[in-house]
Each structure stands twice: as C-alpha cells, then as structure tokens.
Amino acid sequence: MATSNAVPNLADRKRPMTREEKRVILASSAGTIFEWYDFYLYGSLAAIIGAQFFSSFPEATRNVFALLAFAAGFLVRPFGALFFGRLGDLIGRKHTFLMTILIMGASTFIVGLLPGYDTIGWAAPIILIALRMLQGLALGGEYGGAVVYVAEHAPHGRRGFFTSWIQTTATLGLLLSLMVILSVRTFVGEDAFKAWGWRVPFLLSIFLLAVSVWIRLQMEESPAFKKMKAEGTQSKAPLSEAFGQWKNAKFALIALFGLVAGQAVVWYTGQFYALFFLQTILRIDMFTANVLIAWSLILGTVGFVIFGSLSDRIGRKPIILAGCVLAAITYFPVFKTITSIASPALHAAQQNTKVTIVADKNDCSFQFNPTGTAKFTSSCDVTKALLARSSVNYSVDYQPGAIPAKVKVGDAEIVAYETTKLSGDDVKAVPAAFAKAVNEKLAAAGYPAPGKAGEGAVKVEGFFGVFNGQAFPLVLILTYLVLLVTMVYGPIAAALVELFPTRIRYTGMSLPYHIGNGWFGGLMPATAFAMIAQSGDVYYGLWYPIVIALMTVVLGLLFVPENKDKDIFADDTR
C-alpha cells in the first residue's frame, strides 16, 4: 500500500479502487466480523453461562443475572465510543482499532478459561462481568474505527458500497457464532456441551484473534489522517470539539434521533427480537429457532451491499427512512403470520379463546424490568406475568376494589391471591397452586402447556431440514425482516461518516451510533415484554420499534441532510 500522506483530489477519488485498496477494505471487514463473533457468543449462550457462573441462585434468578452481564456489554458501549473515538482522532485509526481487537479477543478467550462459581465462588461472576464490560468498551471503539478507516480509503461516489461491507460484519459475526455453537453442540452432544463444550467457541476465538491482529498489522494508516497529522491540523480535544460546540453537537443529535434510533430498533427487531419471539413467545426449540434465523441471515445478508451501493446513486436518507416506514407498516402482519405458521395451536387458541383479567387498576404495575431486580407481587401483576409467559392474548377489565384479581378463561373463573395477606412458605405455595389452576383451564381451551410450543409447531432436524412446507415459508418471512435490516443498516455507515469532518469523525459518529444501538436497541426485549404484560397482547411490544422508527422518519425528513455527493475531505482545508 502506498504511504503517501496526500489525500487524492476529487477527480482521483472517482477512479475505481486499486487492488491494494480493496484488500484494505476487505481486511478491515474481516477483522470486524471476528469482533462481532466474540460479542455475540455470550448472548447466544447466556442461559448455559448463567448455570456456570451464577449457580448459587435459583434458575430464574441466575438467568436474570446472566442477561444482566450480557446487558453490561451494551450499556458501556457509548463509553467505549468516547474513549476510543478520542484516541482514534488523536493517534490514528489503525492503532486504535488494533487495540480494540486485542481487548475483545483476549476477553473472549479468558471467558473460555474462567472457572465457574463452584470452583472459585463469587470471583467467577465478578470477573465475568468485568470481561463483558471490556468487550463492550472494545466494541464501542471498534465500529467507528473500521467505518472511518474504510470511508477514508473509499473512492468518491462509492462510499456507500464500500462501507456496506462493514455493515455486513455484525450479521456475519452473529451467523458465525450461531454456526460454531450449533456445530460444537452437535459434535459433543447436549449434555457435554452444557458441562464443558460451551467453552470451545470462546477458546476458538484465539485463532480468530491471531488472524485479525495479523491482518491489521498489515494495514496502513488512513491517508486522510496521515495528511492531517503531517500538517498538524488534527483536533487537540476531540470530545469538546465534537460535543461542546453546537455546530458539531447538533449533528450528533441529528444522527442519533434522525438516523440511528430508527435503524437500531429495526435492526434488533429483524435479528434479535425475531429470535426472542420464536423462542420466548412461541416456545420453538432453540435448535430450530437458531437454524431458521441462520438461514434468513444467509439469504438476506447480500442486501447490505445492494442497498449500500444503491445509496451511492439515490442517497442514504431515502433508503434508510423507507426501511423504517416499511417496518412500521408491516411488523404486525408479519409477526402474526409467523405465529400462524410456526405454532398453529397457539395461534388458534389466541384467536378462539377469550381470556380476561378483572383487577383494580391501582393493583397493577407497568412491569418494565431491564435489570431483573424489581419484584412484582400484587395479584394483578402476578396474573399478568403468568399469562404473558404463557403467550396468552388477554384483555383487562379494570374494576375498583377488584383485589385479588380474577382470571376468566372462556366461562371459567379463577381467583388469584392477595400477597399482602400471606407470609413465609404460603407466598410460594399459593402462586404455584394458582398457576396450576390457570394453566389447566388454558390447556382445556387449547393453549399449549407452559414452556411448550404445542401440537404442530415447527421443528427442524438438521441444518438443511428447513426445506419443507412449514419451515421454508418461515425462512422467507424472516429473510424479509433481515432485508429491512439491510435497508436501514447498509447505508448508515456512509451517512454517519459524511456528517463529521476528519478531525473529529471517529469521535463524532461513534457516540450516537452506540447510544442508538446499545440503548435504544438493547432495551427492546425488556421493553417489549413489559408492554406485552401490560396490554395482554403478545404483539403489543412491536409498538416500541414502530413508534421509534416513525419518529426517525419524521426527524430524518426534517433535519438530516443528504450528503452522498459530499467531499468528506473538504473541511480538512479549513
């Protein structure tokens, strides 16, 4: 690769990319895939990890703590964006995301070696959470570095196409993690996988780390940064310049609310919430759900490059906002269709059986519990949570003084219990008896047993078992959701890069991206489940991504500039 500090002029940037420049772009994308692989491994294995590192707690509690440790990685991503974004604008893109891959890879490998709670006690979960936070910090710096590096090498007029390869990396990293997990699980068997096999995907990351470091050591620094450094024009205080000056800070806000927030919820709905919906709401077994999602990712990932390239011709904004609009319009019919195909018994019960809770409104809470630490013990809350966990569609008839709450399943009526009048072991015994009575009535009405998908639910035997009359239509529907993801995510890297000058580009684009994806997107499962429990409608949680997507459409139309033809180096001469 040439080491000249000169940034090509506008005419030169319109030329096709050289072979060496393409190698740089592809190498950057490959390293980022490995980072996402490391990050997603934990989320895919959260339940098994919970049993290893939080074994002193009951199963439900240990799962909550395992998910909390996963969430810690999302919550610290904006801080990683600030820390590594500042470094990237001060010392360079190459050295900064070489640091991020080392931190991510080493943290993941150590998780594979870390003894469980039964061996070293409380040190195990504490170290695990610290490693998760290191992963989140590293990921917070990784994305911005890779995107800026690629964009600053890309020829003018093709930034959308070349940065779209970076956009494929999150999906490919998720797919790679799912494929490795499925392969190891199949090879060693379910029992061995739960006992020790789960460590293998983490340990294998050391090979990915070695390849990634080798790749990145071969890279040259961004020519734009080298020129800026040679001329002494780089920012001395990127954080204050990016967010302390309104002329730049306003673009961070525009990026967050007019682009990234909507992109984040569509992205998480199409990939993570779809998997959550199959497993948690429809009770499809883990193997089948993972295979269905994996095939949708395989078929849909090409959309990132297609829409990234299209954005070079018609603009970033029209494609991103169109993806948000399509998502808002189609989410309800799409997820209802998924239910009807994947779990026909559950769908029939939802359609044919009327379930009503009679309760005092003051006895009911909004069960938003992202940390898993809140306790909802009133008769109304326990009843709502019970029905939500059983994927029951119900309505609520609020009546003053209706304490304890009652459940009506068709013509049958079951009275809940009043927690305040109970103590000790009775508190545990009565909910179990109440749940048993409710579940018996639901089963008589056609609802599947708790934790089961029900008769006729989709099931896949083997990775290539999706080509049948029930599974393949689901793959196509899930692929549509992935294509929506590619519409909003494919062009967004170029759109963010074009909002900020070179001197603060790494810092400026990283923070809104990671707040949007780490917080708006990361909170979706907890928010959606709370909305389901509150409303009694298993599809009601979809209003969360729909409302945020529509907000982004409105703000994006009003405030986001279209910069596809912008010379991103023009500000460097000032």
Average pLDDT over residues 369-382: 65
101-to-1, 94, 205, 522, 525 alpha-carbon distances in Å? 22, 11, 11, 22, 28
- Rounded Cα–Cα distance for residues 163 and 171 (Å): 14
Q: Where are the beta strands (DSSP E) in 373-443?
A: 395-398, 406-409, 412-415
**Predicted local distance difference test score (pLDDT) of residue 110:** 92
Q: 6 pLDDT exceeds 50?
A: no
**Mean pLDDT: which of 20-34, 96-110, 211-225 is highest?**
96-110
- Lowest model confidence (mean pLDDT) among 231-245, 327-341, 380-394: 231-245
Average pLDDT over residues 168-194: 86
**Predicted local distance difference test score (pLDDT) of residue 115:** 92
More confident residue, 191 or 25: 191
CB atoms within 10 A of CB 435: 17
- Rounded Cα–Cα distance for residues 342 and 284 (Å): 8
- Lowest model confidence (mean pLDDT) among 7-11, 235-239, 478-482: 7-11
What residues contact residue 338 under an 8 Å CB cut-off, 6+ apart? 274, 277, 278, 282, 474, 477, 478
Rounded (10°) angle between helices 159-188 and 471-489: 140
**Predicted local distance difference test score (pLDDT) of residue 329:** 97
Q: 118 pLDDT exceeds 50?
A: yes
Split at pLDDT 50, 70, 90, the class of 437 is confident
**Strands laid side by side in the 355-359 sheet:** 395-398, 355-359, 406-409, 412-415
Average pLDDT over residues 386-396: 81
Residues counted in the chain: 574
Tokens of 480: 């549509």
Q: 10 pLDDT exceeds 80?
A: no
Rounded (10°) angle between helices 471-489 and 316-342: 160
Of the candidates 531, 529, 534, 539, the one whose C-alpha atom is nearest the C-alpha of residue 364 is 534
Q: 552 pLDDT exceeds 60?
A: yes
CB atoms within 10 A of CB 9: 11
Tokens of 329: 């319009």
Computed over every residue of the chain, the mean pLDDT equals: 81
- Rounded Cα–Cα distance for residues 514 and 200 (Å): 29
Q: Where are the beta strands (DSSP E) in 191-341?
A: none
φ/ψ of 198, rounded to 5, equals -60, -20
Residue range 292-330, pLDDT digits in tens: 998 998 899 999 999 999 999 999 999 999 999 999 999
Of the candidates 112, 151, 478, 115, the one whose C-alpha atom is nearest the C-alpha of residue 290 is 478
What residues contact residue 252 under an 8 Å CB cut-off, 6+ apart? 242, 243, 508, 511, 512
**Predicted local distance difference test score (pLDDT) of residue 12:** 47
Alpha-carbon dihedral 326, 330, 334, 337, rounded to 10 degrees: -150
* DSSP for 532-544, written as a single string: HHHHS-TTGGGHH
Number of helices and strands in the chain (H, E): 27, 4
Please state, for a pLDDT cut of 70, what percent of the chain lies above it: 84
Q: What is the DSSP letter of 398?
A: E
**Predicted local distance difference test score (pLDDT) of residue 17:** 61
- Lowest model confidence (mean pLDDT) among 193-202, 297-306, 344-353, 366-375: 366-375
Residue range 261-287, pLDDT digits in tens: 999 999 989 988 898 888 878 888 888
Residue range 69-95, pLDDT digits in tens: 766 777 788 888 888 888 877 777 777
